[in-house]
Amino acid sequence: MSESQQFDAIVVGSGITGGWAAKELTEKGLKVLLLERGKDVQHRSGYTTEHMPPWEMPDRGLFERDVYDRDYAVQSRARGFGYATQHYWINDRENPYVQPPGMPFNWFRTDVVGGRSLVWGRHVYRFSDLDFEANKKDGHGVDWPIRYRDIAPWYSHVEKFIGVSGKAEGLAQLPDGEFQPPMAMNVVEQAFKQRVETKYPERRVTIGRVAVLTEPLGDRGACHYCGPCARGCSVGAYFSSQSSTLPAATKTGNLTLRPDSLVESLEYDHQKRRVTGVRVIDTRTGARQKYTARVVFLCASAFASTQVLLNSRSEQHPEGLANSSGTLGRYIMVHYHGVGATATMPGFEGKYFYGNRPNTLYLPRFRNLAGEESKLDFTRGYGFQSNTFPIAWSSYWHRVPGFGAEFKQALRKPGPWFIFLEGFGECLPYADNRVVLERATDRFGVPQLRFEVTFRENERRMGADILRESVDMLKAAGASNINPLPEPAIPGTSIHEYGGARMGNDPRESVLNGHNQAHDAPNLFITDGACMSSSSCVNPSLTFMALTARAAGYAVDQLKAGAI
Amino acid sequence: MNRRTLLQILALAAGGVLHAKPSASKLDEKQQKILAELAELILPRTDTPGAIDAGVPAFIDHIVSDWYTPTERSIFMEGLRVVAAADPAQRVGALQSLEQQAASYVPPPGTSVFGKPDERSPFFFKLKLLTVLGYYTSEVGSTTELAFNPVPGRYDGNVDFATLGKQWTS
């Protein structure tokens, strides 16, 4: 492929947002080059471990000891990482990043077409004006240049396409969307809901809103409840780039997908104030190449897109591209995560389940809601996800003493029902929670990203409240063996990543405007988590998708008008 | 999409099956024989097949020989040595005494058969873990002692266990 081959648009990254950018831009008639650093994974045939029974896995799926320690030192800490999914995750040894002493950070990344859309948690919630107005109201961070009304139609647009099962609840802090029928709660969840809502009438327990189909949608089939989604789903029951956006983009005839293509930096014309090229490294050969297009969408994930901009240095902008504000790489946010409590729920012995439902309960934010005067010692709020299941033989075998026929008979019955309340807390935007380029480079000569991200007093106070409320709600639900989990996970563990190129009205204090367009380069759009001005406490992917679709529509209008 | 189409797609999508490399056992014949006896004592044949029927001894041999760290292997081999030195007619007693010796051991929170094991756990704990893992993840164990249903097709979170009588495979 020669440099002279012209594309209308280049999209960097084929994950949740890149797939959406490719779909929207190609459907509007643009010739799109989609660049993906990872290797190709085809829908269906690429899911080599789907429905694989344990006895067909090497070592029954036990982790590959030496390989994990050597190559997946970080990734192997991700939930769901294992034999059946490891081929999607990035090799840490080959792709290092820097964690300064005392600042551990889990940067969980995939290295495949489709990105983390293959392995994501699939929970999708709308932000509300409680979120979009938060920065302005309490003075942390920069005011969002948009409000809920700006994004609401795009939420609907996205939800109708990806398919979201969930229940309308009529809550201001968690706006309802376009829902397929909700998944069913199990018997313990129903009791938990009833008991918690009785004790706390202002709180709501609902089934998770997930991008998993309960009814067929186009060519995609409904969930068959096999369980381990992250291995890949041949019927396309959950949203991934492979199941959804890439087929739509391919169908237009306007898409060129190029895997194994790591974007190193962008080329910028200082006079014209335009991005003029995308510098790519072929990860198989190390060969470098440049591609050009009229518009560029960075969708490589919050930190990877920020890394590309930081590394797009020149004499005119030594601190990185689109960084005249000096805010590039700053105001990094990740959800405060890992605090909560576990317990068992007595009274349900003999109750069991059929099918593996890929969903949890959700308990929307109930702290510091709009119109309330806060009596709390922290600002913003948190929500809960809750897993509830009977403890399986694999986890209680060692609590059954002895051996022989009696032991075997005892293991035949499931253990007690387990319940896990897990908080997801909003993290405030702090200027010095940042990523910067390290002098050390990777195998391609690209400077490594260094993470300087820590939680602060507001997050810790919120964490103390999460802990108290987890325990109190489990007590109210009649749980036993309540085990508080006071320690937050290492930053990054939630894989809810925000900031680095935040949106704002003022080019002097933000990287992007209200259309995800770089203040300094009107033909550059950044629509992944990097754009976020605050983090809300809800899972972010739906918002990233809606912002991407909205920005793509705007970019095409601007192109047609000759404005960019 | 109906169930038949679904099953057809799933059948087509099934990928290549990888198997562990065969390798040399670090157990001699006598140790292998003792290991088989111990595994069968832990999960014997009852109304369902036992550890030997499910190929558990070969699985444990493979894990101990190829997957264990030197620390784990030396704890395991020492345990086998202790059993080998005792009266062959008293295997149950030997196993009981090993269990008693391991009784004070407290496994780390969240211990499962999967995941990173505690290298220094005692012999009895290691043996029991590998027997349980090997049995309940085998094809025999998964389809007799457990219920294997890779494509349930629906979800019901309020089922009486008695109607099933078995746990699902993981």
pLDDT given at position B1? 47
* CB distance A360 to A229 below 8 Å: no
* CB distance A518 to A511 below 8 Å: yes
| pLDDT tens by residue, B85-135 | 999 999 999 999 999 999 999 999 888 898 889 999 999 999 999 999 999
* CB distance A564 to A523 below 8 Å: yes
Comparing alpha-carbon positions, the chain A residue that sits nearest to B15 is: A48
pLDDT given at position B2? 54
Q: Is the pLDDT of residue B7 over 70?
A: no
Answer yes or no: do B167 and A225 touch at CB < 8 A. Answer: no
* CB distance A59 to B138 below 8 Å: no
Answer yes or no: do A404 and B155 touch at CB < 8 A. Answer: no
Set of chain B residues whose Cβ sits within 8 Å of the Cβ of A351: 158-161
CA distance A434 to chain B (A): 32
Question: b vs e for A22-42, b when ≥16 Cβ sit within 10 Å of the residue's Cβ?
Answer: bbbbbbbebbbbbbbbbeebe
pLDDT given at position B21? 45
* CB distance A335 to A139 below 8 Å: no
Question: Does A185 touch chain B if contact means CB atoms closer than 8 Å?
Answer: yes
Answer yes or no: do A394 and B170 touch at CB < 8 A. Answer: yes
Residue to substitute from B114, B142, B148, interface A, most A β-carbons within 10 A: B114
Comparing alpha-carbon positions, the chain A residue that sits nearest to B20 is: A58
Given the structure tokens 């993470």, which residue do they identify?
A451
Question: Does A221 touch chain B if contact means CB atoms closer than 8 Å?
Answer: yes
Answer yes or no: do B13 and A413 touch at CB < 8 A. Answer: no
Answer yes or no: do B42 and A216 touch at CB < 8 A. Answer: no
Tell me which of A329-338, B4-13, B32-41 is least confident. B4-13
Digit-by-digit pLDDT tens for chain A (564 residues) are 444 468 999 999 999 999 999 999 999 999 999 999 999 999 999 999 999 999 999 999 888 888 898 999 999 999 889 999 999 999 999 999 999 999 999 999 999 999 999 999 999 999 999 999 999 999 999 999 999 999 999 999 999 999 999 999 999 999 999 999 999 999 999 999 999 999 999 999 999 999 999 999 999 999 999 999 999 999 999 999 999 999 999 999 999 999 999 999 999 999 999 999 999 999 999 999 999 999 999 999 999 999 999 999 999 899 999 999 999 999 999 999 999 999 999 999 999 999 999 999 999 999 999 888 778 999 999 999 999 999 999 999 999 999 999 999 999 999 999 999 999 999 999 999 999 999 999 999 999 999 999 999 999 999 999 999 999 999 999 999 999 999 999 999 999 999 999 999 999 999 999 999 999 999 999 999 999 999 999 999 999 999 999 999 999 999 999 999
The two most distant CA atoms of chain B are separated, in Å, by 63
Whole-prediction pTM: 0.95
| pLDDT tens by residue, A355-377 | 999 999 999 999 999 888 778 99
Question: Does A395 touch chain B if contact means CB atoms closer than 8 Å?
Answer: yes
Comparing alpha-carbon positions, the chain B residue that sits nearest to A414 is: B167
Confidence of residue B10 (pLDDT cuts 50, 70, 90): very low
* CB distance A447 to A439 below 8 Å: yes
Set of chain A residues whose Cβ sits within 8 Å of the Cβ of B46: 405, 408-409
B9 closest CB neighbour out of A44, A393, A395: A44
Domain boundaries of chain A, sorted by first residue? 2-122+239-333+432-453+494-560, 164-226+336-425+455-485
- Among A416, A481, A419, A489, which residue's Cα sits nearest to residue A453? A489
B155 closest CB neighbour out of A55, A354, A402: A354
Give contacts of A 262-321 with B, CB under 8 A: none
Set of chain A residues whose Cβ sits within 8 Å of the Cβ of B1: 216, 220-222, 235
ipTM for the predicted complex? 0.93
Comparing alpha-carbon positions, the chain A residue that sits nearest to B17 is: A56
Q: Would the CA dihedral through A154, A160, A161, A165 be positive or negative?
A: positive
* CB distance A19 to A306 below 8 Å: no
- Among A86, A41, A32, which residue's Cα sits nearest to residue A64? A86
| Domain covering A2-122+239-333+432-453+494-560, topology | FAD/NAD(P)-binding domain (3.50.50)
User: Tokens standing for A406?
Assistant: 């009696």
Give contacts of A 449-488 with B, CB under 8 A: none
Set of chain A residues whose Cβ sits within 8 Å of the Cβ of B169: 53-54
B152 closest CB neighbour out of A187, A224, A235: A224
Provide the residue count of chain B: 170
Answer yes or no: do A350 and B161 touch at CB < 8 A. Answer: yes
- Among A179, A161, A218, which residue's Cα sits nearest to residue B1? A218
- Averaged confidence pLDDT in chain B: 89
Answer yes or no: do B158 and A187 touch at CB < 8 A. Answer: yes
What gap in Å lies between CA A244 and CA A158, rounded to an integer? 11
Answer yes or no: do A351 and B112 touch at CB < 8 A. Answer: no
* CB distance A223 to A237 below 8 Å: yes
Q: Provide the terminal-to-terminal Cα distance of chain A, rounded to the nearest Å.
A: 25
* CB distance A232 to A31 below 8 Å: no
Answer yes or no: do A353 and B156 touch at CB < 8 A. Answer: yes
What kind and span of H or E run contains A383?
Answer: strand A382-390
What gap in Å lies between CA A61 and CA A237, rounded to an integer? 24
pLDDT given at position B18? 36
Given the structure tokens 């009784």, which residue do they identify?
B103
Cα A488 to the center of its chain, rounded Å: 18
